[in-house]
Amino acid sequence: MTTELGAPPTRRVVASTTRPARRAAPRPVPHLRHERALLRTGLRYVAGMDEVGRGSLAGPVSVGVVVVDVGTRSAPRGVADSKLLTPAARAALLPSLGRWGVARAVGHASPTEIDDRGIVAALRLAGTRALRSVLEVVEQVDAVVLDGSHDWLTPPEPDLFGTQSELFAPSPDLRVPAVHLRVKADRSCATVAAASVLAKCERDALMVQHAAAHPEYRWDENKGYASPEHVAALRELGPTPLHRRSWRLPTVQEPAVATSGEGWHTQPLLPDEVLRAPS
């Protein structure tokens, strides 16, 4: 670079081509705005409900429920959709969640019940069991907020011939509350997020207990979901009584049929002239 005598050297300014790193989007913080809006309509108790274990190959499907009223304060710090939290973070929330809200419970439906009824009816069964538990604390639940766009809690209308009424009808002593669906409620509704944490922690603990009797399937790690180790054990050992046998589970691989080796004698191919000879 040349400059005039006595003039200060000039510097070339090169624009940076690197973009500033984008900050990670903040994790959504669940709140009680939706629940409080329902309570302002005159309802006394509103519950949030969420399920875990729907897609698992083994173990129960579990449903958590948390009930709040107008006096319930904001959720404990750190409450979020259970899928966004580490196991340690979920466990750390349990003491405060055990004191938050008016009532809380987790209900389960067994693998056998899933096989007999189907997964949707089993979800309903687990949900009504959770509701029955909280009704030991409060006299009624007026409304339930469900995550997603499908109401699996409300029993469907009976079929024309009534052949499956026993699978879908609620217990006669249990009134199913009005259901309010909200997509991603586990990320926006504090009661639903709290219910997901309670259900996840309780179901995970059950699967760790079951793993002691069936260590080959590694349920203490995969919690019954289709991890490579779980699938490999199913292919080697087959299902246990805790597997959902009505599902399309990986099957035991049959050994290949031997076509060579000891006990086998290969005949040589017939020559062409023999094949062409008239019969």
**Cα four-point dihedral sign 78, 52, 248, 234:** positive
List the domains of the chain with CATH numbers.
Answer: 33-211 (3.30.420.10)
Q: Which two tokens stand for residue 148?
A: 């997603």
pLDDT at 166 over 90: no
Mean pLDDT check: name the lowest of 53-67, 120-134, 161-175: 161-175
Instruction: Give the model's pLDDT for residue 91.
Output: 97
236 has a pLDDT exceeding 50: yes
Is 136 marked as binding a ligand?
no
Tell how strand 178-182 and strand 61-68 pair up: unpaired
Q: Which residue has the higher pLDDT, 96 or 160?
A: 96
C-beta of residue 130 within 8 angstroms of C-beta of residue 105: yes
Confidence at 82, pLDDT banded by 50, 70, 90: very high
156-172: average pLDDT = 59
pTM for this entry? 0.79
Residue 190, by phi and psi: left (phi above 0), alpha (psi -120 to 50) or beta? Answer: alpha
**Non-local CB neighbours of 88 within 8 Å, separated by 6+ positions:** none
Bridge partners, 105 (sequence order): 65
Task: Answer yes or no: is 147 a known binding residue.
Answer: yes
Q: Give mean pLDDT, residues 64-87.
A: 96
- Binned at pLDDT 50, 70 and 90, residue 215 comes out as very high
Question: Which whole-number Å values give the CA distances from 64 to 7, 108, 112, 279, in the listed order?
Answer: 77, 9, 20, 79
Q: What is the DSSP string of 243-258?
A: B-TTS-PPPPPPPPPP
Asked if pLDDT for residue 8 goes beyond 70, the answer is no
Residue 202 has pLDDT above 80, yes or no: yes
Write the Ramachandran bin of 224: left for phi over 0, alpha for psi from -120 to 50, otherwise beta: left
166 a known binding residue? no
- The Cα 60–Cα 122 span in angstroms is 9
- Whether the predicted pLDDT of 103 surpasses 70: yes
pLDDT given for residue 222 in this prediction? 97
**pLDDT, mean of residues 176-183:** 95
Tell me: pLDDT of 57 over 80. yes
Q: Which residue has the higher pLDDT, 79 or 269?
A: 79
Could you identify the residue written with the tokens 């050994």? 255
DSSP 3-state of 270: coil
Nearest residue to 199 via CA among 132, 108, 137, 113: 108
pLDDT at 259: 47
Q: How confident is the model at residue 65 (pLDDT cuts 50, 70, 90)?
A: very high
Q: How far is CA 263 from CA 257, 258, 259, 270, in A?
A: 13, 10, 9, 22
Q: What is the mean pLDDT of residues 226-251?
A: 94
Place of tokens 């009624």: 140
Return the structure tokens found at 216: 């080959």
Q: Would you place residue 9 in the very low, low, confident or very high pLDDT band (cuts 50, 70, 90)?
A: low
Q: Which amino acid is at 170?
A: P
Residues 154-163 pLDDT 10s: 998 766 555 4
Which has more confidence, 12 or 235? 235
Rounded Cα distance between 228 and 276, Å, is: 55
CA angle 181, 110, 216 (to 5 degrees): 120
Element (H, E) at 229: helix 228-237
What value, to the nearest 5°, has the Cα angle with vertex 13 and ends 12 and 15? 140
